């Protein structure tokens, strides 16, 4: 179901109750909101989904609710994020209990890893599952940048089926797209860069995984459709509007990266009535006061309230 | 049992069978080798113990074997390493099934975290366990340096009982030792810097957690005793010899950090007959060929064969 | 002359004789080659011009030759790169002897500098010259990223006239372009990102400063014209071709960054007969052997031989 | 005169007049203060001397005053800091006009440089001067760590005569000291780490270049003498006192690194009457208000007022 996947696949947030447990009602609302807005797929248990904050039980809870609510309407990619190979394999066993369409895997982290060890990591994982494996290239979190040539080689050899690029390295992404095309397009190449989706569409991305797409999925769907139709002026206008909305992630600048970014999306969805509130996973701080007000203003400005 | 703990506490390696499972017989031998050599405690499930490579089940296996073999002869500190607060709490629940004396906790990793979030992390953990909590300061793995003033404040407030400093920042360590002393010494301050233990003893460290201490525990015990006796010439000589032995971690320079460092210790212990072989956790590569030969030569040169 | 400057402004290379002195004949050929290819301006003494390798005397030599040869046909921006404010002021005095149109200034480097010190730096420089001052945002070399809000504020206050963005941070660049537009466009915003010029044109860049534009200036001119005409398919095709050509900078991968990148451009221009050879400034190594052959193949493939 | 140099060599600060020019009277006082306190040499135009802020003319002024005032009483090492080889050679020509005893050279900076290029850099410089060349290992400023094996090889081949280690990497420094000893001690190995001079003496450093030694040179001289006499308790006590005094560099924490560190030393010397005031080079901010008060309190506490 993910083989020819293109378009907008938001990395689904994980709403929480006041006691820190997963808010199943809010998650249900969010999944429906996204699908009703026309997104092409869902990526659950990614960084935006606070995957590294959730216990194994909570991760399963997210998978259960999401797959039940989505009910096959769109494909579901699931992050199986853990530090090293064997721990990822355990996460895959848990994820495979649910009807997901692909898994998304980072390079090992915590310990510095050489590239041939990274290769062993992806090969071992691909050999252990029938699900398509997507590489999650997120050096800011894991400390390793996956080179374009490596990714394409893994694609050609059938180890990897796709890439979610959150590296912030657009030169690298263009090299990936071009090398992938030259190799017969074994990989689906998605960008996680939510403020340059028009640009990435222009250079040949198969789609985008925008965190901000939790807040304004319809905007990203319009942007993508305009780009596919060759209406680049409209694509840019939509992206400029979304880039302005994205300023929300810079409002709570004293908080950690997770709390400021994901926290601003949660604050927006709370204002929009999709979430009950903007609780973050411990130890991330929820956004309050002036920063929250500025975020809500941006949401209003974007016509979402 | 850890309140007045001083001296040498090696971070215990985790030997593996050829199929990657924990080698309980070799672990038993290692624990006895360390205790018989006079070490003052054991730190299991640290970075040198490949904790981030072990599944939750394997972690319990290590705790079970180690506590059974040690049988109360020395205190045991256990790493409960995971990405964020709630996941660490789950690790603590598992660790508390075994008679350990303290837990060792890093700052959150994968997601960039602000210092007040790091504080929430440690406070939440300390509130959830009766065991003393030691902070594991290892910025190269987690991306956060724990400032001396923060650590001492957490010590004064009873949140933290000790620090294992693997930051490589000796200026920071001296500031920590001085600030801790000025505050009435609420913290046990241990260095993880295995080639400057004589220096750290001079400036007031309570002890050391040397990875190389798996290979030559008696050497570190002699070094520490000489330092405590004020025989600094002898301490330096012992440390110089150990620093030469430590060159083993630079022999397999094309491998990742874990494979080169911990791998050289495993290679040594295999040559010494404590381990059956030098298998690493997937995806880390085991050391072979010339690099392994050079490591064994260093072990021989150090009089350990 | 730079007020409404848009389009392609290559960062002019500095050809050298075999003895390391500036090759005035080759520089003359290069300047004519670029202007004849239709570029909109020249940026001399930038990183690609090996400015930090040139003595003060050689810098003047480059300025003299370039301004004489250009003879007013296109505006000339000159890098006045030095470590701190007073040293930059000395460089400006030297540069002002020649009929240049603007100066390009980095943040201070070598010593870590706070943002209010960076502001003092740019204000002091702007107060000391009548020439328009462009900020050169190149964190990989100077260790400081210039924030979009800071740059726009400096534009509004008349301190800065333009920005040459070599940060590799396209999110930051889009934020800069949008904030600049919202402030009445006080700044000229140029990207140094040579493989995404189509994208940067789409999001509103005023122009590009592509190092690879030394090798294929006509290609970049065609790309820019297509973008301005709204022919994004053609712009992308041209950029894809240039991105393939850009693979030259990855061929001599064991050399330092300067030698591999600028060195590949010099190797190309030598093959094309514009330069006599590909000599680099000491201590950078010139490219030879297989790497040089692969670079020449790419030049051939691009239709430039 | 530097061949058998050991002991304390402060990196001499550069006092400035209110207009930013070099304050020759204060520099004269400082040089005499240091020599009268018993230091073993002077290192002028280092990072603490704000070398990268001084114009070429000001650098010569510092060299002239220092050599005249010192008048051969102690050896003088001079920093010839610039970005690349040819520019350093120009600095050497200027420095050689004055009776200095050695030059101190960093790796190239601004452009990323491969190690064989760094080697070419030092070889070219050594071939161009009769003065002994010391390597200045300061990765935080130049982005390159000089490996121990490289430095010792350069020592054996007569390229380098000494090392000033400001890397903050004590493991690396011990490896350097041991490898140098094993090679017949071709290098003088000095540490720039002012709060662990007792430790570095213990492990075999030839001396120290403490920035704080501008403020309390007699303290460092006492520390060094105690260490050489094997009185490690006294050495540690002196170092602990100096470590407490060093807290001054953390008082103006919002300023850039130069302004906070060197600025605190200037603030101290102004309070002590050696300097007229604590003016920093543009664009560094001078310390005022509470931070200045706290610094002066530390000076008072250390018995220097």
pLDDT in the model for residue D222: 98
What is the rounded distance in angstroms from the CA atom of residue A35 to the CA atom of residue A41?
8
Tokens representing residue C231 in the block = 């022919």
Which tens digits make up the pLDDT trace of C193-242? 999 999 999 999 999 999 999 999 999 999 999 999 999 999 999 999 99
Measured in angstroms, the CA of C222 and the nearest CA of chain D are apart by: 31
Residue C128 sits at φ, ψ, to 5 deg, of -100, 0
What ipTM is given for this predicted complex? 0.96
Mean of pLDDT values over A216-231 = 98
What is the rounded distance in angstroms from the CA atom of residue C172 to the CA atom of residue C191?
11
Q: Are D43 and D164 in contact (CB under 8 A)?
A: yes
Which one-letter DSSP state was computed for residue A77?
A: E
User: Between chain C and chain D, how many beta carbons pairs sit less than 8 Å apart?
Assistant: 140
Is there a cis peptide before residue A283, judged by omega within 30 degrees of 0? yes
| Contact (CB<8Å) D283/C108 | yes
| Contact (CB<8Å) A85/B110 | no
| Contact (CB<8Å) C282/D109 | no
Residues of chain B numbered 148-207 and touching chain D (CB < 8 Å): 168-171, 174-175, 178, 193, 195-196, 198-200, 202-204
**pLDDT-based confidence at residue C121 (cuts at 50, 70, 90):** very high
What percent of chain A is predicted at pLDDT more than 90? 95
pLDDT in the model for residue D185: 97
Is there a cis peptide before residue D283, judged by omega within 30 degrees of 0? yes
Tokens representing residue B6 in the block = 């001083």
pLDDT in the model for residue B2: 67
Which tens digits make up the pLDDT trace of B9-43? 999 999 999 999 999 999 999 999 999 999 999 99
Q: Is C241 on the interface with A (CB under 8 A)?
A: no
Which tens digits make up the pLDDT trace of B75-89? 999 999 999 999 999
Which tens digits make up the pLDDT trace of A234-264? 999 999 999 999 999 999 988 877 789 999 9
Among C105, C104, C122, CA closest to C41: C104
| Contact (CB<8Å) C203/A193 | no
Measured in angstroms, the CA of D232 and the nearest CA of chain C are apart by: 35
On the question of pLDDT at C60 being above 70, the answer is yes
**pLDDT-based confidence at residue A1 (cuts at 50, 70, 90):** low
* B236 chain-D contacts, CB cut-off 8 A: 202-204
Among A120, A116, A165, A158, CA closest to A139: A165
Could you say which of D114, D119, D281 has the minimum Cβ distance to residue C254?
D114
| Contact (CB<8Å) D199/B170 | yes
| Contact (CB<8Å) A117/B259 | yes
Tokens representing residue D58 in the block = 């000001």
Instruction: Give one DSSP letter per residue of B167-190, joined into a string.
Output: S--HHHHHHHHHHHHHTT--SEEE
Please give the residue of chain A at the shortest CA–CA distance from B89. A55
Could you say which of D178, D196, D247 has the minimum Cβ distance to residue B170?
D196
Q: Are B241 and A96 in contact (CB under 8 A)?
A: no
Binding-site members of A are 209
| Contact (CB<8Å) A83/B87 | no
| Contact (CB<8Å) B195/D175 | yes
Contacts of range B90-96, beta carbons closer than 8 Å, 24 or more positions apart: B90/A55, B90/A56, B91/B56, B91/B59, B92/B125, B92/B128, B92/B129, B92/B131, B94/B56, B94/B59, B94/B60, B94/B63, B95/B45, B95/B59, B95/B63, B96/B129, B96/B131
Could you say which of A168, A174, A236 has the minimum Cβ distance to residue C243?
A174
What is the rounded distance in angstroms from the CA atom of residue B111 to the CA atom of residue B48?
23
Measured in angstroms, the CA of C7 and the nearest CA of chain A are apart by: 18
Q: Is D285 on the interface with C (CB under 8 A)?
A: yes
| Test mutation, B80, B82, B111, chain A, max A CBs within 10 A | B111
* C168 chain-A contacts, CB cut-off 8 A: 169-171
What is the rounded distance in angstroms from the CA atom of residue A185 to the CA atom of residue A203?
14
Residues of chain A numbered 46-85 and touching chain C (CB < 8 Å): none
Please give the residue of chain C at the shortest CA–CA distance from A171. C195
* D239 chain-B contacts, CB cut-off 8 A: 203
Measured in angstroms, the CA of A299 and the nearest CA of chain C are apart by: 18
Q: Are D166 and D195 in contact (CB under 8 A)?
A: no
**Angle at which helices A85-95 and A115-127 pack, to 10 degrees?**
30
pLDDT in the model for residue D254: 81
On the question of pLDDT at C2 being above 70, the answer is no
Could you say which of C203, C240, C244 has the minimum Cβ distance to residue A199?
C203
Could you say which of A171, A200, A240 has the minimum Cβ distance to residue C195?
A171
Please give the residue of chain A at the shortest CA–CA distance from C195. A171
Could you say which of C111, C120, C257 has the minimum Cβ distance to residue D52?
C111
Please give the residue of chain C at the shortest CA–CA distance from D257. C112
Tokens representing residue B150 in the block = 């923060």
Please give the residue of chain C at the shortest CA–CA distance from D53. C84
Tokens representing residue D158 in the block = 């007569």
Measured in angstroms, the CA of B236 and the nearest CA of chain A are apart by: 31
Could you say which of C83, C281, C284 has the minimum Cβ distance to residue D52?
C83
Question: Active-site positions of A?
Answer: 136, 164
| Contact (CB<8Å) C283/D117 | yes
What is the rounded distance in angstroms from the CA atom of residue C95 to the CA atom of residue C133?
13
Per-residue pLDDT tens listing for chain D (305 residues): 667 899 999 999 999 999 999 999 999 999 999 999 999 999 999 999 999 999 999 999 999 999 999 999 999 999 999 999 999 999 999 999 999 999 999 999 999 899 999 999 999 999 999 999 999 999 999 999 999 999 999 999 999 999 999 999 999 999 999 999 999 999 999 999 999 999 999 999 999 999 999 999 999 999 999 999 999 999 999 999 999 999 999 999 888 777 899 999 999 999 999 999 999 999 999 999 999 999 999 999 999 99
User: Which element (helix H / strand E) includes A153?
Assistant: helix A148-156
Mean of pLDDT values over A46-52 = 97
Mean of pLDDT values over C76-104 = 98
The yes-or-no reply on C/B contact (3 CB pairs or more, < 8 Å) is no
Mean of pLDDT values over B125-153 = 97
pLDDT in the model for residue C294: 97
Q: pTM for the complete prediction?
A: 0.96
One of D4, D98, D110, D164 is an active-site residue; which one? D164
What is the rounded distance in angstroms from the CA atom of residue D302 to the CA atom of residue A37?
68
| Contact (CB<8Å) B203/D178 | no
One of C29, C136, C220, C266 is an active-site residue; which one? C136
Q: Is B140 on the interface with A (CB under 8 A)?
A: yes
Please give the residue of chain C at the shortest CA–CA distance from D89. C55
Q: Is A285 on the interface with B (CB under 8 A)?
A: yes
Among D199, A48, D139, D113, CA closest to C143: D139
pLDDT in the model for residue B254: 81
Measured in angstroms, the CA of A178 and the nearest CA of chain C are apart by: 8
Could you say which of C54, C58, C283 has the minimum Cβ distance to residue D108?
C283
pLDDT in the model for residue D259: 84
| Contact (CB<8Å) C170/A199 | yes
User: Which element (helix H / strand E) includes A43?
Assistant: strand A42-44
Active site residue C266: no
Please tell me whether D209 is known to bind a ligand. yes
**Angle at which helices B115-127 and B148-156 pack, to 10 degrees?**
30
The SS3 assignment for B63 reads: helix
Tokens representing residue C39 in the block = 């570029």
On the question of pLDDT at C3 being above 80, the answer is no
| Contact (CB<8Å) A240/C171 | no
Q: Are B15 and B44 in contact (CB under 8 A)?
A: no
Mean pLDDT, chain C, whole residue set: 96
Which residue segments constitute the domains of chain C, with CATH numbers given? 7-230 (3.20.20.70)
pLDDT in the model for residue C1: 63
| Contact (CB<8Å) C83/D87 | no
């Amino acid at each position: 179901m993910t083989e020819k996947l293109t378009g907008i696949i938001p990395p689904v947030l994980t709403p929480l109750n006041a006691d820190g447990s997963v808010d199943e009602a809010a998650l249900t609302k969010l999944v429906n909101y996204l699908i009703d807005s026309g997104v092409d797929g869902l990526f659950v248990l990614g960084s935006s989904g606070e995957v590294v904050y959730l216990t194994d039980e909570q991760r399963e809870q997210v998978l259960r609710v999401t797959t039940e609510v989505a009910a096959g309407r769109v494909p579901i990619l699931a992050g199986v994020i853990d530090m090293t190979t064997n721990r990822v394999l355990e996460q895959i066993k848990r994820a495979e209990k649910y009807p997901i369409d692909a898994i998304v895997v980072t390079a090992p982290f915590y310990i510095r890893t050489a590239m041939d060890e990274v290769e062993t990591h992806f090969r071992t994982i691909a050999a252990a599952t029938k699900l398509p494996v997507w590489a999650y290239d997120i050096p800011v979190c894991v400390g390793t940048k996956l080179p374009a040539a490596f990714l394409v080689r893994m694609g050609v050899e059938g180890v990897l089926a796709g890439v979610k690029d959150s590296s912030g390295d657009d030169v690298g992404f263009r090299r990936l797209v071009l090398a992938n095309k030259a190799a017969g397009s074994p990989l689906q190449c998605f960008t996680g860069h939510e403020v340059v989706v028009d640009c990435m569409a222009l250079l040949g991305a198969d789609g985008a995984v925008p965190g901000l797409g939790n807040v304004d999925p319809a905007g990203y769907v319009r942007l993508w459709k305009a780009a596919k139709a060759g209406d680049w002026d409209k694509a840019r206008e939509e992206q400029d509007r979304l880039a302005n909305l994205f300023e929300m992630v810079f409002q709570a600048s004293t908080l950690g990266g997770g709390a400021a970014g994901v926290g601003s999306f949660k604050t927006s969805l709370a204002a929009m009535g999709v979430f009950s509130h903007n609780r973050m996973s411990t130890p991330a701080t929820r956004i309050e006061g002036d920063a929250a007000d500025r975020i809500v203003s941006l949401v209003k400005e974007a016509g979402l309230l």
